[in-house]
Amino acid sequence: MPGLIIIGSNPTANILRLACQNIGLDKLTQIQTKHTPLVPAAILPANISRIIVALKSEDHIRDLSIAPNRKMIRLSKSGYLISEIPLGKFYYDRYGANLVNISEASLQILLSDQSQSDQQNTLEDINANQNVIALTDRKLPEDTTEAAFSTFYARMPFDKDSAHINTTWLGQRQTAIQFSTKEAQHIIFLIPHSENLDPGHWHPSIRDAAITAKIQKPSVSKNSIEEDINLSHSDLKLGSAWYQESWLFPETIHAGIEDAWVLSRMLENYEEETNEALSSYTKYRRPRINRFAKYTEQETFKLLNSHGPQRFAEYLRLAFSTRFIPEIFMSSQDWLHGYDCLRGFR
């Protein structure tokens, strides 16, 4: 089959390289680009962590990450606990893998163990041969989520008392995500563009974070690598190269890792039939990506447009489903966390 050229140094690109090395793909090159995540930490649900475990030591992941034991949903100003969702062993038993919090730096250390590609020495060879070019860097314009919200981020000192609790704070048209990694505590505020981040709107436990939080701007790669490569070759997109993850839906931040695994399996299954491999990759991934996008759009609309009684009814539904009939709530998220592309792609 043609060679595979991976452009990018983000986790999606690194997983693709590891997975292709794992199947013994000979013609494999990774060209490094600048990777600057919007937030320097991530929450990896079971559908993502199980892929990393398949390629790396589970002990190594455990050493670099935190597996929270519960998720809390609180009101932003009063701190009232709407819901508490079990994670830890309960989550692992249900999904067969952990939900983990990890810094982006640690994730890069975990996945970036290859010798660096020499761009100057490879571009001529790339253009001289038929290759499949896998794009993993963000190229899309701002989507509706980013058009609606500004993302503010604060890094706070590590707090052992809250280290194993992931918290979502719900405010009036605003939300915040709080979680810890081995190194620090991270708080992300999503604020409508038309509004300001007002520390007075937030509970005292995260008010200092709201005071120090800085707005984050998406980093879109503007390197010249792709301009130097003849893109008349077969090319395909993975991760943020063809859809945009959102912190309103934190579990999708590295969903491109699923893309990478599925693509590697298709290349293995179809061997010399490269076009069939790429066609099947798109066939199996597009419905799931469309579901990510639809869910994010729904959450965006819900946050921006629910008022008064409607918002209270939503809080009541959430509290009832998680406190009294948690099985219904867990079933509603099985499509995301329970997805296992190690076994199949549907």
Do the domain assignments include residue 345?
Answer: no
Q: Does 9 map to a domain? A: yes
> pLDDT tens-digit profile of 252-264?
999 999 999 999 9
Q: How far apart are CA 182 and CA 145, in angstroms?
A: 29
Q: What is the CATH number of the domain that holds 166?
A: 3.50.50.60
| Chain Cα centroid distance, residue 16 | 15
Q: Assess contact for 68 and 166: CB atoms under 8 A.
A: yes
Least confident residue range of 143-147, 249-253, 338-342: 143-147
Residue 329 covered by a domain:
yes
Q: Is the dihedral of CA 271, 275, 279, 282 positive or negative?
A: positive
The domain total for the chain is 1
Its domain, for residue 170, covers 3-337
Check if the beta carbon of residue 174 is closer than 8 Å to that of residue 186. Answer: no
Q: How many whole angstroms separate alpha carbon 180 and alpha carbon 103?
A: 9
Residues 6+ apart with CB under 8 A from 17: 6, 28, 30, 114
Confidence of residue 231 (pLDDT cuts 50, 70, 90): low
Inside any domain, residue 265: yes
Determine, yes or no, domain membership for 346: no
Question: What is the per-residue pLDDT across 314-330, written as a single tens digit (0 to 9) for each?
Answer: 777 777 767 666 677 78
Q: How far is the C-alpha of 140 from the C-alpha of 24, rounded, in Å?
A: 32
For 4: left if phi > 0, alpha if psi spans -120 to 50, otherwise beta; the answer is: beta
Q: Does 271 fall in a domain? A: yes
Q: How confident is the model at residue 118 (pLDDT cuts 50, 70, 90)?
A: very low
User: How many Cβ atoms are within 10 Å of 187's Cβ, its own excluded?
Assistant: 24
Please indicate, yes or no, if residue 344 is contained in any of the structural domains.
Answer: no
pLDDT, tens digit, 9 for 90 and up, residues 60-99 = 999 999 999 999 999 999 999 988 989 999 999 999 999 9
Pairing of strands 165-170, 235-237: unpaired
Residue 60 and residue 113 in contact, taking contact as beta carbons nearer than 8 Å = no
Each residue's pLDDT tens digit, 121-130 = 455 555 556 6
CB 178 within 8 A of CB 206: yes
Residues 250-282 as b or e (16 or more Cβ within 10 Å = b): bbbbbbbbbbbbbbbbbbeebeeebeebbebbe
Residue 157 CA to residue 181 CA, distance in Å, equals 10
**3-class DSSP assignment, residue 83:** strand
Residue 222 has pLDDT above 60, yes or no: no
pLDDT digits (tens, 9 = 90+) for 187-219: 999 999 889 999 999 999 999 999 999 999 876
| pTM exceeds cut of 0.85 | yes
What size, in residues, is the chain?
346
Q: Is residue 343 part of a domain?
A: no
**Rounded distance, CA 342 to CA 210, Å?**
40
Phi then psi for 101, rounded to 5 degrees?
Answer: -105, 130
Mean residue pLDDT across the chain: 86
